Structures are given as structure tokens and as C-alpha cells.
Amino acid sequence: RENFIHLCNPHLEKMKEDILYHFALGTGTHDFPALFGDVKFVCVGGSPSRMKAFITYIAEELGLGSPGCDYPNICAGTDRYAMYKVGPVLSVSHGMGIPSISIMLHELIKLLYHAKCSNITIIRIGTSGGIGLEPGSVVITRQSVDATFKPQFEQVILGKTVIRSTNLDEELAKELMQCSKEIGQFNTVIGNTMCTLDFYEGQGRLDGAICLYNEEEKLQYLKEAYDSGVRNIEMESSVFAAMCNLSGVKAAVVCVTLLNRLEGDQISSSHDVLVEYQQRPQKLVGYFIKKSLGKV
């Protein structure tokens, strides 16, 4: 059964042209079905360079393109986001934090709708701080929770607080977990992900420019998070889950942990170690895409 993108906005039907400003794309200047109609998998992550590395990796894994091929940035007309495509896979950067990924997702979801894409799977691949896990562990998010451990995304719209669900696709999480077992290269868990509005105080760090709490209070908070099921902390998953839910898109979040926050706040691993850690979500999601396409 074809599952198309659901747009929760009746106003778009009245528009003669839809300009996706932050992508430097528009329905009046680009043929969306021709450019993107075959997309089935969308992978999003914070860094443009990481998303370019991912498209190069997945192209090699799927046997598409030629070795050493340079993939052009589809959004080269803007410096806000970067977008790359090979075969049925789209790779898009989203910047850092809820506001940045929210803007990107509004335009990405409209892009997929205008392209008449169906049966789309969107996966956020990224980095995070772990709680009670060895650095390098990969967390597949069960549900995103806020800084009070509630599975919700709260936003003020027209002066009123709107609360939206942040559950993610349970079957997709299980499929990804099975893929990790088949790869057998790194520790992977399914757990809750805490999404915060800030990297420092919002995540209970002691090393920011401002900190008015002590180490004991910090550790008590992080242990409460762990006891509630939280296994990692990042800054995008709540709005990602909420918007994918509203659009009827199957979605997952797969993040590697760069440190165990119960043991410190600063990321001290070497550059080479961090690069290898950051490749783990790519390997897992790449394997999942290959398996989904019958190429494993």
C-alpha cells in the first residue's frame, strides 16, 4: 500500500508556487517529482560534511555511482543546509538544535509531498552524550523526552502552548536493533533520548560560561534521567519525532554516544576515535537501507 506524505496545512493548496527558501528550491523553478520522486530513505544529521560523507558511503554500499565520485550539493544556492542524493537515498544536514532542524523539516516534508514520494523512512543520524553507557555505544530512540522526562514536544503557537507526541516507530526501532546484531561491531541499545534546548546548562554540564548548581545536583539529575529510561541526550529528537508523526512518516533516531555523562562533561577522545564513533550510525543505517533493498 502506498503511504504518501500527509500535510497538515490546508493553506498550501491555495498557493500557486511554494518556495522552499532555506533549500533554494521552489515548485516554480524545479521539477520535484523528476528530482526526488524515487526517494524512499531520507537521512538527516547536523553537519553538512557528515551528510556528504554519508551519501558517499551509501553510494559505495549500494553500488551506485563511480568510486571517488563527488556528489553535488543540491542546496548550493544557500548556506543554510546541504542536501545530497544518490538513487533512493536523500541526505540532508539540519544544523544544531530544535529551531534549526524544525525549519529544515518543514521544507523537507513539503519537498517530499511535492515530489509525490511514498513509503518514506526518515532517520536522524547523529552524536549525543550517553548516560550510563560506554562511549561509542549507539542508541536507537524509543521515544524522545523533554528535560523533565516527559514524552512530549512543547511549542508556543499564536501565544498558546501546544503539546505534541514524540513517540517513534516501534517496529522500525526493532528492525534497526536487529540490523545492529547482524553487524555485530558495536554496542547498541534501545532507550529514551532526552532532547534539550541547550548544550550546557540544559544538559546539566558544569563547564559552561554560567553554572549555578553543584556536581552533586548534576549527578542526581542525570541519575533520575537514567532511572526514567533515558540513555542519551541531544538537541533535535523531540521536534523531529513530533513533525514526522504529524506527517505520517515512519521515523527513527540513531545516535552514537561520545562520552558517559556520569563520568564527565567534556569530550576528550582523540579526533580519530571520534571519527570512528561518528561512522557507527552511518554503518547501521547503511546496512538497514541495504537490507531493505534486498542487497544484503
The answer to whether 280 is annotated as binding is no
CA dist 131 and 269 (Å) reads: 16
Q: Taking the mean position of all CA atoms in its chain, how far away is CA 205? A: 23
Asked whether the beta carbons of 252 and 191 are under 8 A apart, the reply is no
The answer to whether 148 is annotated as binding is no
Asked whether the beta carbons of 161 and 111 are under 8 A apart, the reply is no
**What is the three-class DSSP state of 267?**
coil
The one-character DSSP state at 167 is B
Strand pairing category for 89-93 and 41-45: parallel
CA dist 128 and 207 (Å) reads: 17
Residue 105 sits at φ, ψ, to 5 deg, of -65, -40
The answer to whether 164 is annotated as binding is no
The answer to whether 80 is annotated as binding is yes
Please, where are the H alpha helices in the chain?
Answer: 32-36, 48-62, 98-114, 170-183, 215-227, 237-246, 271-292
Asked whether the beta carbons of 129 and 261 are under 8 A apart, the reply is yes
The answer to whether 124 is annotated as binding is yes
Task: Look at residues 292, 248, 286 and name the one whose alpha carbon lies nearest to residue 117.
Answer: 248
Q: What number of H helices and E strands is found in the chain?
A: 7, 12
Q: Taking the mean position of all CA atoms in its chain, how far away is CA 163? A: 20
Q: Which residues are annotated as a binding site?
A: 80, 124-127, 203, 205
Which residues carry a binding-site annotation for phosphate? 80, 124-127
Going by the annotation, the residues of the binding site for substrate are: 203, 205
